[in-house]
Amino acid sequence: MADAHPNDTDPFARFHAWMEEAVASEPNDPNAMTVVTTTLEGRPSARVILLKGVDDRGFVFYTNKESRKAGELAVNPHVFLLFYWKSLGRQIRIEGMVENVTDAESDAYFATRPRISRLGAWASSQSRPLPERSVLEGRLADYEARYPGEDIPRPAYWSGYRVLPEYFEFWQNMPFRLHDRTTYTRGATDAGGDGGWAVGKLFP
């Protein structure tokens, strides 16, 4: 499959082009991405979550700030994202650091979630041991009674992160495993650079 933007010097433009094609071809969750975090000791952990926003600053996802991933990001803000679309034979690797999104951003996104998902944010002590499913179901029922309508506030511990990318790699499957790998590395601004993107290639 030919790359829609083979000479593009803006990795965000290429990301948007590839995501548009993924939305048209992937049967489920084209915005699914693997998020890799590490402990202070360097032990990695990975999980698949959904990308909820992207702008010219970075890539946004939301979570319980008391979860394992949040705890790891608190001690090591470096993060790795991986998008993989099997139907297109493509993947994108992104390395960067996280910053917290604003309360206004978190409130706005939380308000778009289905009602049960918003209640679930209250009911779930994410990443902590669950004795049995009925405990979660009971807590959900308690919050349904507490908030019977659509006016459900966002828990203070539920918010989001923006990944500020420093490196992209766009991988395109090619015949005979002669894959195309295009990299974008952000230039340093403290060394007289303009903070733009250096474009390169890697052997497959």
Catalytic residue annotation: 177
Angstrom CA distances, 150 to 62, 114, 140, stand at 20, 9, 15
Query: Where does residue 45 fall: left (phi above 0), alpha (psi -120 to 50 degrees), or beta otherwise?
Result: beta
Query: Where does residue 195 fall: left (phi above 0), alpha (psi -120 to 50 degrees), or beta otherwise?
Result: left
Whose CA is closest to 160, among 79, 46, 87?
79
Distance from C-alpha of 79 to C-alpha of 96, rounded to nearest angstrom:
6
DSSP state of 164: E
Angstrom CA distances, 122 to 62, 93, 127, 148, stand at 14, 32, 14, 14
